[in-house]
Chain A
Amino acid sequence: MNTDYGRGVRGVMQQIDKRKSLGKSKIIKTPGERIFNFFNIMLMLFVCFITIYPFINTCAISFNEGPDALKGGIYFFPRKFTLKNYKEIFADETIIRAYAITISRTVIGVIVSVLITGMFAYGLSKPNIVFKKFYLMVCVIGMIFNAGLIPTYMLYKDVGLLNSYAVYILPYAVSIWNMIIMKTFFENLPAELEQSAMVDGASTFQVFFMITIPISMQIIATMCIFNGVAQWNSWFDAYMFNTRRPELQPVQTYLYKVIALSQAQTNSAAEAELLERRKVNVVTIRAATVMVTVVPITFIYAIFQKHFTQGIMIGSLKS
């Protein structure tokens, strides 16, 4: 589960915003360039359309009546408008419980992860730390060697992480990749502020919480987004490790089960019954479940989009 976005982004991120001030438009365009620009804009609009259309289409289907949707031909708007699908999924307590799990694991997971990873990164960002080389080596090996699914499963089983809520939080508490990004950020902070606080007699923890964190909000926000999105999206851990306690499943795992149910033959009688009951509505119900899952994350993304793109650039700046 390695996020390998921008591995090695480091050196090149500096001047991303420079171009906007360059005022390309002042130059008079040749006809060839105009044609090029026209097609280019069209292409970009098309790319945006392709990216968004699945969401629009799913939204339209989720507001449509089930049997009618199977006939096809719904593109942008529902044909027979209904709220029945949403009513049905919200009538089912499972999804509400799943939602509560998702929200709580996102909040707790983000706090725990940003705090522990942040402290870890802060410690390692100081220049004369004893054993620093050793610590970094452990991190690098830990990052590229993965013992695999089964040994992890066995470990979780042995320490009681199977069928527990903690399996949503603890394994994500430290992300080595995020640690490296934060460490780079902390290394580039001006040292004077901290030093003056130290002179005034503040402890290391006080400095970290009262000074470093407030001036590092950009990277903290970025990390919150990354962790939050990862938590919100994760379904595999619940599917794999919390099989015996379905009440702990987050909404994504619930959605996965809805999908798997509509895909494959069912095993148990209960599932078969559920499938039968929902057969005619399976497409619309699924669409509604998707919408319920995707809308919050899209909103959060839209709000924070600007901040975190800047954050990742700064975080990956080479010192």
Chain B
Amino acid sequence: MQALESNKNAPVRKKSISKVVKHTMKEFRKQLSLQIMILIGLAFIIFFRFVPIYGLQLAFKELMPGKGIWDSPCVGFKHFQDFFLSGHFKTVMGNTISLSLMKLFIAFPVPILFAILLNEISSYRFRSIVQGITYLPHFISYVIVYGVVSSILNRDGGSLNSLLLSLGIIKEPIHFLASKPLFWPLMVLLDIWKETGWNSIIYMAAIAGINPELYEAARVDGANKIRQIISITLPSLVPVMIVLLILRVGSILDAGFEQLLVFRNPIVFEKANILDVYVMDIGIEQGRFGYATAVGLFKSVISFIMIYFSNKIANRSEYGLW
């Protein structure tokens, strides 16, 4: 009975598959112009995002001068072993994760607070001026940030040092930009300075979505501003906060490559040595391509897994990436 039935079904299915293929081809040809538009874009993605994956085999090889990637001898997991056993692993991972966590926990609440307070400004005009000004640093590169910030933090003639000296708070000028203990706090502060305005956009939008009747009711009940913020605004922001937090945790291995590249100098070198910086130094400057690729691959894989799952979790709510 069963045999008979499968017999009966098989040709039908076969037919339907060829039919589907035919139908697909027909559809494809009908939308050929659209498909061309897509395929041009897709070609770029494949070339710049997927073709480099070919080079990842370097992580298991020792690149020989004169030989290509393919012909270079295989060394197995030697590079990974070297990395995990070297003293660099601990410092580099430690730096990356601690700096990232510092940025996460200190910088994360700032845009929320900023959005709440900015939202309390009743003049629309003033509010948009503040927004316009605070978004600006998001649009300049860290190179420029270094340029403008260094004129304040310089040891010789920086205006912060001048101010502190003239107020008598310090006796000697502080070299803010070349001080090991100050380096990480400075990086976190700069992150806050640069991105607070921009990151507050999403919270502003979430606050704007709160039903104003809630505030009216709270006012009637005699709740003051602080009370309203704690009892209405903050709880309404929790879903957005959670999702953004999850997404941020997903990219924990990105501690700010360009920022550290610009701000590092021989004195703070050790503190600025995060994964990305390490890969660049080892790979491009020292030419140890195989080893650097292995370190990079280690980062890519962990990042991929973390971003994937953080988005999976975030997707349970409506704010996920896909």
| A contact set with B: CB distance below 8 Å | 2, 4-20, 22, 24-25, 27, 30, 32-33, 36-37, 40-41, 43-44, 47-48, 50-55, 57-58, 61, 69-75, 116-117, 119-124, 126, 128-131, 135-136, 138-140, 142-155, 170-171, 173-174, 176, 179, 203-205, 208, 229, 233-236, 240, 252, 255-256, 259, 263-265, 283, 286-287, 289-290, 293-294, 297-298, 301-302, 305, 309, 312-313, 318
A301 to B41, CA, bound (A): 28
Interfacial chain B residues near A53, Cβ < 8 Å: 152
Are A151 and B52 within 8 A (Cβ)? yes
Q: Please, which residue of chain A has its CB at the minimum distance from the CB of B203?
A: A12
Interfacial chain B residues near A19, Cβ < 8 Å: 119, 208, 212
The A-contacting residues of B in range 25-57, CB under 8 angstroms, are 27-28, 31, 33-35, 37-38, 40-42, 44-46, 48-56
Interfacial chain A residues near B244, Cβ < 8 Å: 7-8
Interfacial chain A residues near B33, Cβ < 8 Å: 203-205
A145 to B28, CA, bound (A): 29
CB proximity of A305 to chain B, nearest CB, Å: 5
Check: B314 CB closer than 8 A to any chain A CB.
Answer: yes
Interfacial chain A residues near B251, Cβ < 8 Å: 2, 4
> Chain A interface mostly helix, strand, loop or mixed?
helix
A154 to B70, CA, bound (A): 12
Interfacial chain B residues near A25, Cβ < 8 Å: 122
| B contact set with A: CB distance below 8 Å | 24, 27-28, 31, 33-35, 37-38, 40-42, 44-46, 48-56, 58, 69, 114, 117-122, 124, 126, 129-141, 143-144, 146-152, 154, 156-159, 161-163, 165-166, 173, 193, 197-199, 201-202, 204-206, 208-209, 212, 219, 224-226, 240, 243-244, 247, 251, 254, 258, 261-262, 265-266, 276, 279-280, 283-284, 289, 292-293, 296-297, 299-300, 303-304, 307-308, 311, 314, 318-322
Among the listed A74, A144, A150, A173, which residue makes an inter-chain contact with B293, where contact means beta carbons less than 8 Å apart? A150
Are B265 and A142 within 8 A (Cβ)? no
Interfacial chain A residues near B114, Cβ < 8 Å: 47
Interfacial chain B residues near A55, Cβ < 8 Å: 148
Interfacial chain B residues near A204, Cβ < 8 Å: 31, 33-34, 37
Q: Contacts A37-B122, A51-B134, A116-B40 known; A233 to B322 CB distance under 8 Å?
A: no
A129 to B35, CA, bound (A): 8
Among the listed B40, B45, B120, B151, which residue makes an inter-chain contact with A57, where contact means beta carbons less than 8 Å apart? B151
Are A294 and B148 within 8 A (Cβ)? yes
A309 to B44, CA, bound (A): 28
CB proximity of B293 to chain A, nearest CB, Å: 4
Are B322 and A140 within 8 A (Cβ)? yes
Q: Contacts A8-B244, A54-B148, A294-B148 known; A142 to B35 CB distance under 8 Å?
A: no
CB proximity of A8 to chain B, nearest CB, Å: 3
Are B137 and A51 within 8 A (Cβ)? yes
Are A142 and B300 within 8 A (Cβ)? no
Interfacial chain B residues near A302, Cβ < 8 Å: 132
Among the listed A8, A75, A138, A256, which residue makes an inter-chain contact with B143, where contact means beta carbons less than 8 Å apart? A256
Interfacial chain A residues near B284, Cβ < 8 Å: 149-150, 153, 240
Among the listed A18, A131, A297, which residue makes an inter-chain contact with B140, where contact means beta carbons less than 8 Å apart? A297
Are B45 and A139 within 8 A (Cβ)? yes
CB proximity of B244 to chain A, nearest CB, Å: 7
A148 to B201, CA, bound (A): 30
A6 to B151, CA, bound (A): 31
Are A32 and B225 within 8 A (Cβ)? yes
Interfacial chain A residues near B240, Cβ < 8 Å: 12
Q: What are 20 sample pairs from A and B whose C-beta atoms fall under 8 A apart?
A: A7-B247, A8-B314, A8-B320, A14-B209, A30-B224, A41-B126, A57-B151, A75-B159, A119-B37, A121-B41, A123-B41, A126-B31, A148-B279, A153-B283, A153-B284, A233-B141, A252-B141, A255-B143, A256-B143, A312-B201
Are A130 and B44 within 8 A (Cβ)? no
Among the listed B42, B56, B135, B156, which residue makes an inter-chain contact with A135, where contact means beta carbons less than 8 Å apart? B42
Are A40 and B41 within 8 A (Cβ)? no
Interfacial chain B residues near A131, Cβ < 8 Å: 28
A161 to B146, CA, bound (A): 29
A210 to B144, CA, bound (A): 39
Select the residue from A25, A44, A252 with max chain B CB neighbours within 10 A.
Answer: A44
A69 to B53, CA, bound (A): 50
CB proximity of A101 to chain B, nearest CB, Å: 15
A302 to B165, CA, bound (A): 36
CB proximity of A198 to chain B, nearest CB, Å: 11
Q: A44-B117, A138-B46, A147-B56 are in contact. List 6 more A-B contacts (CB 8 A).
A: A51-B133, A119-B40, A129-B38, A142-B46, A294-B140, A294-B147
Are A150 and B144 within 8 A (Cβ)? no
Are B56 and A122 within 8 A (Cβ)? no
Interfacial chain B residues near A255, Cβ < 8 Å: 143-144, 147
Q: Please, which residue of chain B has its CB at the minimum distance from the CB of A232?
A: B141
Are B58 and A150 within 8 A (Cβ)? yes
Are A234 and B297 within 8 A (Cβ)? no
Are B296 and A150 within 8 A (Cβ)? yes
Among the listed A144, A174, A318, which residue makes an inter-chain contact with B41, where contact means beta carbons less than 8 Å apart? A174
